[in-house]
Amino acid sequence: MQYIYNISNILIKVNIIMENEEKVMTGEESLKIISEMINKTKFDIRQGSFYLLFWGWLIFVCSLSEFLLKKFAGVGHSYYVWLLVIPGVFVSMIYGFMTGRKAKVRTYTGILYMWIWFGFFIAAMVLFIVHSKSMYSVAPYILLLAGLPTFISGFLIKFKPLIAGGICFWVIALAIFFAGTDTYSLGSAIAMLFGYLIPGYMLKNRVDHDAV
């Protein structure tokens, strides 16, 4: 019995020594380790696709409902559909809090991504307050603002459809500004389709494909 115990003790010690023994590396091996490890620290883009799809659908439904209610049902206070944005903010905050708690790593890209969108949220709130007496005219400015984080996020995660989405926001903002207030809600719905939903689904497909 003592013999077996001694052998197992020796094996454990040998294992520890082997684990801690440092193999001499060549310069090429060092470079390979550095590039492999740096490549592993890419930002997890799954979080990005959730927000794009969630906000894309929410704003798309609100914009289109407002347009349809006003144009075809003749509802005067069709803008009330925008109240859906309030629970949307809470859902986003809860999702962000939950994923943040579970995250095992915080990348610089992820932090930058979060603050860019948070900055957009604050700027949008300021815009709503400034335009509180003329909310009907806020759409082109919101699209103008929304284009910026979308465009930058596209560069951060190296995803061209999102860069194109940001540009779409600016083009549509300009178009509806000159086309008049009647086009604002329909223009916003189209902007959501090209700016958030299409890039959002493409991003999700890429993540799902990479995960296989």
Q: Which of 13, 71, 106, 160 binds another protein (CB under 8 A)?
A: 106
- Residue 101 in the binding site for another protein (CB under 8 A): yes
20-28, 78-86, 145-153, 200-208 -> range binding another protein (CB under 8 A): 20-28
Find the shortest distance in angstroms from Cβ 17 to another protein.
11
Residue at 100: amino acid letter: G
Distances (CA, A) of 100 to 92, 103, 114, 133, 167: 12, 5, 11, 37, 29
3-class secondary structure, 26: coil
Asked if 19 is part of the footprint of another protein (rule: CB under 8 A), the reply reads: yes
Distances (CA, A) of 205 to 43, 48, 178, 199, 202: 16, 12, 36, 10, 5
Q: What single string gives the DSSP state of each residue in 147-198?
A: HHHHHHHHHHTT-HHHHHHHHHHHHHHHHHHHH-GGGHHHHHHHHHIIIIIH
Among 30, 99, 181, 205, binds another protein (CB under 8 A): 30
d(CA 127, CA 115): 18
| Contact with another protein (CB under 8 A) among 3, 40, 90, 180 | 40
Min dist. Cβ of residue 39 to another protein (A): 9
d(CA 204, CA 206): 5
The answer to whether the beta carbons of residues 199 and 162 sit under 8 Å apart is yes
- Report in angstroms how near the CB of residue 32 gets to another protein at its nearest: 10
Q: Does 77 bind another protein (CB under 8 A)?
A: no
Q: Give the span between the Cα atoms of 185 and 191, in whole angstroms.
A: 10
Contact status: 33 vs another protein (CB under 8 A): yes
DSSP state of 133: T
Q: Is 16 in the site for another protein (CB under 8 A)?
A: yes
Site mask for another protein (CB under 8 A), range 108-137, x = bound = x--x--------------------------
> How near is the Cβ of 22 to another protein at its closest, in Å?
5
Residue ranges that bind another protein, judged by CB under 8 A: 16, 19-20, 22-23, 25, 27-31, 33-34, 36-38, 40-41, 101, 104-108, 111
